């Protein structure tokens, strides 16, 4: 079932948590809400759940306006970052809770409750632990129980708040793959909040990038990674090299150097910022090469199949005492062919560059 | 305990009232709040107000006369004297007990902590009784003391002993959880830097526990000055000699000098209010301290 | 510690160290001082009660502690204390709830005044409550026409015991309530539980150990309470006489043995309560996932 939010506005005192957010979460998809802490992603999730009330705007669940529906009646499954399991209940009772609190005429029979809970525990592969208490489980197991508990009431949508945030790296990776598989089985419309770009890109069908209470971009993982819509998205997803300069016709002037930007939509010359990923920069060893930015090699880090080269620009930014730092990733063979040494002066030439005019990164 | 607890900042109640999942319907809220406030007024606020109203019922002159009475002044002096002996004794003990329990591991630690709390669960009357049994005329040491003409029962030493007993755990039980929460890293760092035991205590530990210590001392002092049951048993009620302020209140009251009894009582009630004020201040300071540390 | 106190070697084996290498100084001195002071001030004096009562034969002991007038005081002391603790459990929970969950004017002041029974000398509380609940008092004069007499009746004892037990429940429940993550209630609500179901199935089980601990503390304190009760009780034998008063009465008659026998009964009760409270707190710590 689909979720739409329309013009959601939410403030906490003078802090604007959500600023006119409108989004359409496709039915049956797994969507990641991604952004730095304080960007409003958790608030948005809680507004959708009905745990937080928006100052203005609408939440539409399965085509119906749910803005005034209490969280109790919204039938959303919510999974908390710190699990929020009921400590005094067994795993079984935790999962059964949502069924037991139903009004008498809707409540399933004891036998059916038992069957349903056990089915869910098998789904999350924890059936043997039904009689344990939450304190006897590992973090990853607790999170799976929390998920089973949320699914027990057959929610229309599933909302997960930083579901892997409290787990260590190894368990995180496993649980991530497991959540993806589970979603492929159930196809329930799901939204999860994360600040981990790798997690969002690996697990989700759709990624929504948020910053300072606004949506920066929505799209598939490939779209947002390959075609970032704003400087923020460029900077937030993956490593990136930043160039501050001026548009001069078909070129971007960065200090003494000029770079061809290959974009023709700039009507006016003026201040601009450009981005290139580490693999989108070429290293030219000829110091007299006309194009590119003069830099010196600081460190060469060779691990695995690719090599990372760290460089400093030779012309410092006007308002900064520190040299601008660049990062280039090249296949190992290419590095060996270049025969780079630390301290060597080179020029950096982008193979692909994306320029944003009149915007700060 | 309270200062250790104050280290967690107190959340604003508004977040509960703004949250759909944690808020009650308005009439349930009114019912709970109304009942709680009536209960509070009936059992706490009104007795407190009654003390001051009754004290001033016969006017300021009677009030001042009652307080300026020589017996009343003697009672004030004795009460101060007892507190001045009992509180430092329990303070030194509290620091020693907390140091050994919070900073070291040894068998029987939990049991020792329970023993320290023991005087709180003993009726004050029994606290008085045990010292009568020890030092009274028919007590274990009674005859021996009588022969040497040493007066402990119905005299100041016994009042001090009884007071030390009933206020025994106050400082220790405040410091133990606080020092346990702080761990021993800072002290170990001081050892590594070459500090000796006294320097560690004076320069590292005491500054860290000062609010908890103060808190314990404030409560200990309030109880020491206000104790009634235990001192009532051991005092013998000798006016001007073994009468503390609470005992003086009782004597006046039993002689139907109600205004005078309440006048002296109002002094103790003021002491209680000052105690509560200081206690809140210390809690606030400790919380502020914790907030700036974080 | 710089206190020049000798270390008692006799006490060493029981408190033998687990780790032999101690980095921090002063352990033998601090522990030694603690044990000596504890023994001198608390343990040896308390043992006097048991040693003294040992001079009685069992039938003599039994005759004293089962005397009808003494038994009547148990009934009143324990009954009123139990009832007062129950009243405090219910209303103390409400007060703690209001202090944590609601904003209202004067909240900080009320929060501070909850500890009044800890700070106010019991004799002062006793005469103040008597003045309030006597026939001509503010509250007593309202109740008298209804045929309810409080002062100088067992009901007066109950009122005094509610007063002195009030902070215990509030102060044990309040921190647990403050630490409770709102996620628990949010989870319950998102699973469709009503507010009442959330309270009875999620919150109450979590608060229960603290509530019971507060109840037990209030009960233990109330049973031994003396100062605030004797003024309002009227102290009529067989009707409104409390157990601590019996001890005092016997002492005033120089009946040391009789006083001691009754004291032993009360002490045994106190030790049982202390054990119960310790167990409750351990359970509470486990339930709420806190470490002591």
pLDDT one-digit tens code per residue, A48-82: 999 988 999 999 998 889 988 898 888 899 999 88
Most confident of A264-278, B193-207, C11-25, C156-170: C156-170
**Same-domain pairing of A167 and A48:** yes
Whether B19 contacts chain A with CB within 8 A: yes
Q: What's the whole-number average pLDDT of chain C? A: 87
CATH number at residue A279: 2.40.50.100
Whether A72 contacts chain C with CB within 8 A: yes
Whether residue C190 and residue A149 make contact (CB cut-off 8 A), yes or no, is: no
How close B59 gets to chain C, by Cα (Å)?
A: 17
Whether residue B19 and residue A50 make contact (CB cut-off 8 A), yes or no, is: no
Predicted local distance difference test score (pLDDT) of residue A5: 94
Predicted local distance difference test score (pLDDT) of residue A321: 65
Rounded to 5 degrees, φ, ψ at A18 are -135, 130
Predicted local distance difference test score (pLDDT) of residue B238: 62
Whether B22 contacts chain A with CB within 8 A: no
**Same-domain pairing of A140 and A231:** yes
Residues of A in contact with B19 (CB under 8 A): 51-52
How close B121 gets to chain C, by Cα (Å)?
A: 6
CB pairs under 8 A between A and B: 11
Residue A168 pLDDT > 90: no
Most confident of A304-318, A338-352, C145-159: C145-159
Predicted local distance difference test score (pLDDT) of residue A171: 86
Residue B180 pLDDT > 80: yes
Q: Which of A204, A235, A266 is the last residue of a domain?
A: A235
Least confident of B39-53, B251-265, C240-254, C275-289: C275-289
**Same-domain pairing of A328 and A351:** yes
Least confident of A267-281, A311-325, C9-23: C9-23
Predicted local distance difference test score (pLDDT) of residue C9: 38
Residue C292 pLDDT > 70: no
* pLDDT digits 0-9 by tens, C31-88: 999 999 999 999 999 998 888 888 889 999 999 999 999 999 999 999 999 999 999 9
Q: How much helix, strand and coil, in percent to the nearest 5, is found in chain B?
A: 80, 0, 20
Q: Classify strands A306-313 and A354-357 as parallel, antiparallel or unpaired.
A: unpaired
Chains that touch C (3 or more CB pairs under 8 A): A, B
C-alpha–C-alpha distance, residues B87 and B222, integer Å: 10
Query: Does CATH place domain B2-9+58-293 in 1.10.3720.10?
Result: yes
Q: Which of A214, A235, A256 is the last residue of a domain?
A: A235
Cβ within 8 Å of A, C 271-290: 286-289
Q: What is the pTM of this model?
A: 0.84
Domain span at residue C173 reads: 75-241
What's the mean pLDDT in A341-345?
86
pLDDT tier for residue B288 given thresholds of 50, 70 and 90:
confident
| First-to-final CA distance of chain C | 26
How close A95 gets to chain B, by Cα (Å)?
A: 19
Total tally of structural domains belonging to chain A: 2
Predicted local distance difference test score (pLDDT) of residue A359: 55
**Same-domain pairing of A97 and A224:** yes
What's the mean pLDDT in C192-203?
92
Chains that touch B (3 or more CB pairs under 8 A): A, C
Residue in C184, C192, C288 nearest the CB of A101: C192
**Same-domain pairing of A219 and A313:** no
Sequence spans of domains, chain B: 2-9+58-293
C-alpha–C-alpha distance, residues A326 and A309, integer Å: 8
pLDDT tier for residue C14 given thresholds of 50, 70 and 90:
very low
Residue with the larger pLDDT of the pair A78 and B289: A78
**Same-domain pairing of A192 and A255:** no
**Same-domain pairing of A71 and A162:** yes
Residues of A in contact with C197 (CB under 8 A): 101
Residue B249 pLDDT > 90: yes
**Same-domain pairing of A217 and A245:** no
Task: Name the burial class of residue A315, with classes exposed (0-12), middle (13-18) and buried (19+) by CB atoms within 10 angstroms of its CB.
Answer: middle
Residues of A in contact with C190 (CB under 8 A): 49-51, 71-72, 74, 76-78, 150
Is residue C40 situated within a structural domain? Answer: no
Name the helix (H) or strand (E) containing A6: strand A3-12
User: Is the Cβ–Cβ distance between B209 and B7 less than 8 Å?
Assistant: no
Domain span at residue A55 reads: 3-235
Total tally of structural domains belonging to chain C: 1
User: What length is written for chain B?
Assistant: 294
pLDDT tier for residue B92 given thresholds of 50, 70 and 90:
very high
**Same-domain pairing of A75 and A183:** yes
Is residue C174 situated within a structural domain? Answer: yes
Residue in B39, B116, B121 nearest the CB of C95: B39
The CA distances from residue C108 to A289, B32, C167, in Å, are 73, 18, 15
Predicted local distance difference test score (pLDDT) of residue A294: 85
Residue C260 pLDDT > 60: yes
Residue B292 pLDDT > 90: no
CB pairs under 8 A between A and C: 72
Residue A14 pLDDT > 80: yes
CATH number at residue C233: 1.10.3720.10
Q: B91: Cβ–Cβ under 8 A, 6 or more apart, which residues?
A: B171, B213, B216, B217, B220
C-alpha–C-alpha distance, residues C222 and A173, integer Å: 57
CATH number at residue A74: 3.40.50.300
**Same-domain pairing of A180 and A319:** no
Residue A180 pLDDT > 70: yes
Predicted local distance difference test score (pLDDT) of residue B239: 62
């Amino acid at each position: 079932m689909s979720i739409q939010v329309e013009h959601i506005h939410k403030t906490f005192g003078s802090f604007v948590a959500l600023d006119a957010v409108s989004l359409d979460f496709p039915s049956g998809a797994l969507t990641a809400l991604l952004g730095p802490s304080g960007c409003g992603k958790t608030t948005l999730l809680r507004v959708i759940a009905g745990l937080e009330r928006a100052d203005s705007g609408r939440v539409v669940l399965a085509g119906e306006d749910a803005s005034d529906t209490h969280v109790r009646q919204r039938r959303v499954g919510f999974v908390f970052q710190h699990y929020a399991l009921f400590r005094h209940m067994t795993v079984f009772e935790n999962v059964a809770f949502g069924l037991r609190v139903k009004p008498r005429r809707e409540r399933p029979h004891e036998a059916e409750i038992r069957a349903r809970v056990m089915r869910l525990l098998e789904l999350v592969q924890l059936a043997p632990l039904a009689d344990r208490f939450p304190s006897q489980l590992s973090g990853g197991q607790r999170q799976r129980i929390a998920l089973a508990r949320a699914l027990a009431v057959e929610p229309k949508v599933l909302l997960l708040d930083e579901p892997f945030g409290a787990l260590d790296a190894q368990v995180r990776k496993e649980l991530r793959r497991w959540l993806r598989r589970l979603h492929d089985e159930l196809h329930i419309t799901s939204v999860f909040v994360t600040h981990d770009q790798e997690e969002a890109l690996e697990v989700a069908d759709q990624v929504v990038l948020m910053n300072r209470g606004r949506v920066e971009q929505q799209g598939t993982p490939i779209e947002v990674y390959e075609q970032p819509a704003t400087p923020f998205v460029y900077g937030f997803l993956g490593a990136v090299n930043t160039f501050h300069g001026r548009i001069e016709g078909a070129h971007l002037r960065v200090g003494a150097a000029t770079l061809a930007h290959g974009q023709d939509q700039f009507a006016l010359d003026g201040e601009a910022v450009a981005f290139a990923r580490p693999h989108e920069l070429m290293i030219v060893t000829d110091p007299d090469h006309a194009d590119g930015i003069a830099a010196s090699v600081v460190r060469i880090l060779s691990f695995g199949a690719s090599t990372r080269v760290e460089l400093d620009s030779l012309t410092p930014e006007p308002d900064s005492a520190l040299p601008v730092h660049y990062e280039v990733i090249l296949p190992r063979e290419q590095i060996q062919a270049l025969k780079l040494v630390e301290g060597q002066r080179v020029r950096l030439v982008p193979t692909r560059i994306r320029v944003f005019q009149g915007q700060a990164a | 305990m309270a200062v250790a607890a104050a280290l967690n900042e107190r959340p604003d109640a508004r977040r509960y009232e703004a949250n759909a999942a944690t808020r009650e319907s308005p009439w349930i809220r009114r019912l709970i709040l109304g009942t709680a406030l009536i209960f509070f007024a009936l059992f706490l606020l009104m007795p407190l107000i009654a003390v001051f109203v009754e004290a001033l019922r016969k006017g300021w002159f009677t009030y001042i006369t009652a307080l300026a009475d020589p017996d009343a002044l003697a009672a004030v002096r004795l009460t101060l004297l007892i507190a001045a002996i009992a509180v430092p004794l329990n303070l030194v003990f509290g620091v020693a007990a907390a140091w050994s329990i919070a900073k070291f591991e040894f068998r029987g630690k939990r049991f020792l902590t329970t023993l320290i709390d023991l005087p709180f669960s003993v009726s004050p009357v029994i606290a008085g009784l045990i010292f009568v049994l020890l030092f009274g005329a028919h007590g274990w040491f009674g005859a021996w003391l009588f022969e040497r003409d040493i007066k402990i029962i119905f005299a100041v030493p016994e009042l001090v002993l009884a007071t030390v007993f009933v206020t025994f755990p106050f400082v220790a039980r405040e410091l133990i959880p606080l020092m346990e929460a702080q761990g021993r890293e800072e002290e170990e760092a001081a050892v590594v830097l070459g500090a000796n035991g006294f320097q560690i205590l004076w320069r590292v530990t005491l500054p860290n526990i000062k609010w908890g210590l103060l808190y314990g001392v404030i409560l200990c002092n309030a109880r020491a000055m206000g104790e009634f049951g235990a001192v009532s048993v051991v005092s013998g009620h000798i006016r001007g000699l073994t009468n503390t302020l609470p005992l003086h209140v009782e004597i006046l009251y039993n002689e139907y000098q109600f205004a005078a009894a309440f006048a002296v009582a109002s002094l103790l009630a003021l002491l209680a209010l000052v105690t509560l004020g200081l206690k809140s201040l210390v809690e606030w300071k400790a919380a502020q301290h914790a907030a700036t540390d974080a | 510690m710089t206190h020049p106190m000798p270390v008692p070697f006799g006490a060493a084996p029981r408190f033998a160290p687990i780790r032999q290498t101690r980095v921090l100084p002063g352990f033998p001195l601090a522990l030694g001082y603690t044990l000596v002071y504890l023994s001198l001030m608390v343990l040896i004096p308390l043992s006097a009660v048991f040693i003294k009562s040992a001079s009685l034969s069992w039938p003599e002991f039994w005759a004293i502690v089962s005397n009808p007038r003494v038994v009547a005081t148990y009934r009143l002391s324990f009954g009123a204390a139990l009832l007062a603790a129950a009243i405090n459990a219910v209303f103390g929970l409400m007060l703690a709830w209001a202090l944590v969950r609601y904003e209202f004017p004067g909240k900080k002041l009320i929060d501070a005044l909850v500890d009044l029974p800890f700070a106010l000398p019991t004799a002062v509380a006793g005469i103040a409550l008597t003045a309030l609940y006597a026939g001509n008092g503010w509250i007593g004069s309202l109740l008298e026409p209804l045929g309810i007499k409080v002062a100088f009746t067992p009901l007066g004892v109950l009122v005094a015991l509610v007063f002195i037990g009030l902070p215990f429940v509030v102060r044990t429940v309040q921190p647990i309530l403050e630490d409770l993550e709102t996620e628990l209630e949010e989870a319950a609500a998102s699973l469709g539980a009503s507010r009442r179901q959330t309270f009875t199935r999620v919150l109450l089980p979590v608060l229960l150990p603290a509530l019971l601990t507060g109840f037990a503390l209030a009960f233990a304190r109330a049973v031994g309470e003396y100062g605030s009760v004797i003024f309002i009780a009227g102290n009529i034998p067989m009707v409104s006489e409390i157990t601590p008063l019996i001890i005092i009465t016997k002492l005033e008659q120089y009946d040391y043995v009789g006083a001691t026998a009754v004291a032993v009964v009360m002490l045994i009760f106190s030790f049982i309560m202390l054990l119960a409270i310790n167990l409750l707190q351990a359970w509470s710590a486990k339930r709420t996932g806190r470490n002591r």
